[in-house]
Amino acid sequence: LLVVIGIIGILSGVLIASFSGSSESARAAKCLTNLKNLASASQLYSSATTWMVCSSSGSYLSEDGKWYYETPGWVSWLSSGIFPSQNEASGTEIGTYHESETDRIYSLTNGVLWKYLSGTSSAYVCPEHVEAVAPKFRPLWSYVMSPSVSGWKYKSVTRADRRLLFAEMPFDGTVNGNYAPSTSRSKYNDSELQYWEGDVIGFNHKAGKGEKCAHVVFVDGHVEKLRQPKGGLSDSQLKDLTQWLCEGKDISFDGKEYEKLAD
């Protein structure tokens, strides 16, 4: 019953957002709704399994040692038929900007959150992200999950109000409408915020004259708009902020810079 009620709540949020216009404010509102729905779906998954959802797929070996099987993450690996396999590396983690649309759709529908989102594909992608990208490269999802809580026992998660769960990929820095490849793989950005490889959160929404903000949601389900300092963020500052969010650090912001408080 709780799962049903939770799914109804998610659907209500999706419907409300769908009636908004196509303005920037409406797209920003839809993005925040998406993040809330992803967090709610993750909590429903954790209630049903007692585990946190995984930020990417994994594989496990059968008891007889002959076959590897996929353990899907919130977004899955490539299309069916790859597993079972005798080769652990035969599954390829898929990115949102490459592979066929059929394979990318499979990645959504085979991910563990799909049923908790009642098959609502629009919950995976921010409309502002779609608006910003050339049609050829438009993603099917634009959010990434923090690996810092991936696969944890749900009750073992500490500082749930500070630990990042989902954030947006950045869409700045495109070349001819194409995205820079993920720093951790030869293909484009996947489903995981690999901050140790230089992946960062995206400040994709306007927040006043000449300013931007990033939409993020934490493990406890609350969303925040993180304002970009007026002077912007250097690459190193953006990487630090992303890591602090993933690790659940206490952070202060005085309007000019983000600082990590003492551990």
pTM of the shown model: 0.84
> Angle CA(105)–CA(111)–CA(147) in degrees, nearest 5?
120
Q: Which residues pair with 178 in a beta bridge?
A: 175
Taking each continuous run of H as one helix and of E as one strand, the counts in the chain are: 5, 9
The domain limits of the chain are: 2-260
pLDDT along the chain (263 residues), means of 10: 60 53 84 97 96 86 76 77 57 71 87 95 94 80 94 93 95 60 56 89 88 96 94 92 97 93 80
CB-based contacts of 150, cutoff 8 Å, min separation 6? 52, 53, 54, 55, 56, 73, 192
pLDDT of residue 88: 57
Contact 84, 60 (CB under 8 A): no
pLDDT of residue 21: 43
Amino acid code (one letter) for 67: W
Contact 128, 27 (CB under 8 A): yes
How is residue 107 written in tokens?
């990645």
